[in-house]
Chains A and B, each alone.
Chain A
Amino acid sequence: MKQPLLIKKGAEASLYLADWHGRKVIMKKRLPKKYRLSKLDEQIRTYRTIHEPQLMHEAKRAGVPTPTIFLVDVKNAAIIMEFIEGKQVKKLLGEVSKSERQRLCLKIGELIGRLHKYGIIHGDLTTSNMIQNSEGKIFFVDFGLGEKRKELETRGVDLHLMKRVLQSTHFRFAKECFNAVIKGYSKVLDAETVKNVLDKIKEIERRGRYVAERKGG
């Protein structure tokens, strides 16, 4: 392997662009966190290293593009996977036209719907974790916080995060984007489920400590 090139030092893991048997790959390495006790740290890193590839593989089955996994190195908490050449949705949303933004968000909603229908919770639905390749295909990456769950609660929390990311990072068009996401989501899941998930999101928002619409107190 040629010297891997650090392309992103994330909070949770470092991403390296590397050459692996003639292939351009991403090596995702969960480095030990000095702030955590080693016992706790190892447990969290091992768990996420094993579960992430499993979920990515299952996401493919659900019809959601994810990078292909080539190797899982549990001992070093490293995953070697396909390198997706493209642009982060985080960057795209601010650059494209309104109609393109709508199209992107609709597609994202549809992909989230597929995951949820299949019983997968992504756990970190931020626009930095979505990449559009040159053919316009959107890939979901970073399943490190994902789970196999079907409960309304977990689905609600998953989408609530998406909403929150739109509000914090893309606040100028958060509302239109989230509406499009829900429209796409509704293409996959039935109306009753969508309504229940939306109600759940409202409940989660109200549960937050300080929300204007929260009743009583």
Chain B
Amino acid sequence: MKQKKARENYCLGIESTADDFSVGISTFNGEILANIISVYMPPEGGIHPREAARHHAETASKVLEEAFKKAEIKPQDLSIIAFSQGPGLGPCLRTGATVARALASYLGIPLVGVNHCVAHIEIGKLKTDAKDPATLYVSGGNTIVSAFDSGRYRVFGETLDIALGNCLDVFAREAGLHQKPSMPFGAVVEKLAVKGKKLVLLPYTVKGMDMSFSGLLTAATNLLKKGEYKLEDLCYSLQETVFSMVTEVTERALAHTEKREVLLTGGVAANKRLQSMIKAIAEEHDAEFCVVPSEFAIDNGAMIAWTGVLAYKQGIATPIEKSFVKLRWRLEEVEVPWVR
């Protein structure tokens, strides 16, 4: 054991809101020592919450062990345990929460419940040095445009129905495409879209600051079934349309809030085309473009660990009897006293 490390404070973060089970370890200074992610990939169809939860339970000890090994610390070196308390799928959240409670009570250290959406923003800020950005958070479960104001991350725009990532995933499944842990559906669609040339017009639904993707998904799926267009062209058109929509809303939020930075975070942040669009609006408004590195774009334990540190430093902890999971915990419900 290295002497220097033993004196430091560490937080272990557990993420299990949906299909990923992940453990991250962060120092109190924001150095990420480990970020081990185990992805659950259903053989077919979408995520079945119970099946995903089973995967999490089965893989938990292995992921924990790997994280400690990677960080080169022992469980006894930890100061706090953080876990994603919501929002997400019930069975998945409960599995992560159970592991977190067990660890915290066994080690006799504080537990910190973290909001998953806040964590995506915080890891983005940590990794890009953004201080006060307008944020576009896009993933398989969320599509949120937010910015900090008076103690909280306020939601300026969001989806009125399904998430952008979900829209891409369902389309890919309908098209009979397959995903791998190294290449999720979003990446599969992106790869095909690069080869697309013909833009097929699809419903472009922006309602003020909010967006709707379900009608567009139906339209794209119907065109797919008709078989008149190449799959590459449909992927291309789908991407262009949904990304233009979120970019338009993000630009509105940027113009409205007059923030000097734009942060792109969440699983879909890895998409190069979306990155180029958000970069374009950042330049247009003289704001700095920040994108979370891909390792921290998808759901990960490091973001939970780091957000746990931020909260704990403000005296926030979650007693075990209050550590029940919150399936629909909205971003703007969370006070973030560590910001400014």
Contact = CB atoms under 8 A, between A and B. Distances in A.
Interface string A179-217: 000000000000000000000000010011111101001
A168 interface: yes
Given A34-B284, A40-B204, A11 B251 contact: yes
A210 B160 contact: no
B284 A123 contact: no
A34 B280 CA distance: 7
Given A35-B247, A37-B240, A168-B154, A10 B255 contact: yes
B140 to A, nearest CB: 11
A10 B154 CA distance: 20
A44 interface: yes
B90 A204 contact: no
Nearest to B283: A34
Contact of A157 (B160, B204, B327): B160
B244 to A, nearest CB: 5
B244 A157 contact: no
B175 interface: no
Nearest to B143: A209
Contacts of A171: 150, 154
A11 B87 contact: no
Contacts of A124: 208-209
B330 A211 contact: yes
A11 B328 contact: no
Contact of B163 (A35, A160, A209): A209
B327 A217 contact: yes
Contact of A12 (B248, B276, B333): B248
B142 A209 contact: yes
Contacts of B161: 207
Contacts of A40: 199, 201, 204, 240-241, 244
Interface in A1-49: 9-12, 33-37, 39-40, 43-44
A157 to B, nearest CB: 5
A164 B87 contact: no
A165 B158 CA distance: 12
Interface in B229-258: 240-241, 244, 247-248, 251-256
A208 to B, nearest CB: 7
A210 B328 contact: yes
B124 interface: no
Contacts of B204: 40, 44
Contacts of A168: 149, 154-156, 332
B244 A35 contact: yes
Nearest to B252: A11
B207 A145 contact: yes
B324 interface: no
A54 interface: no
Nearest to B141: A209
Nearest to A36: B244
B254 A11 contact: yes
B281 A35 contact: yes
A12 B252 contact: yes
Nearest to B157: A164
A161 B209 contact: yes
A35 B276 contact: yes
Contacts of B333: 212
Contacts of A33: 244, 248, 280
A161 B210 CA distance: 8
A44 B202 CA distance: 12
Interface string A139-154: 0000001000000000
Interface of A: 9-12, 33-37, 39-40, 43-44, 123-126, 128, 145, 157-158, 160-161, 164-165, 167-169, 171, 204, 207-212, 214, 217
Given A128-B256, A168-B155, 20 more contacts: A11-B256, A12-B252, A34-B280, A35-B244, A35-B247, A36-B244, A36-B277, A37-B240, A40-B241, A157-B160, A168-B332, A169-B256, A207-B160, A209-B87, A209-B158, A210-B327, A210-B329, A211-B330, A217-B327, A217-B328
29 contacts: A9-B255, A10-B252, A11-B255, A11-B256, A35-B278, A35-B280, A37-B244, A40-B199, A40-B201, A40-B240, A43-B201, A124-B209, A126-B208, A126-B256, A161-B210, A167-B154, A167-B332, A168-B149, A168-B154, A168-B332, A169-B154, A204-B160, A208-B158, A208-B160, A209-B159, A209-B163, A210-B142, A210-B329, A217-B327
Interface of B: 86-87, 90, 141-142, 149-150, 154-156, 158-161, 163, 199, 201, 204, 206-210, 240-241, 244, 247-248, 251-256, 276-278, 280-281, 284-285, 326-330, 332-333
| Closest 6 pairs (CB-CB, A-B) | A35-B277, A11-B252, A210-B87, A11-B251, A210-B328, A35-B280
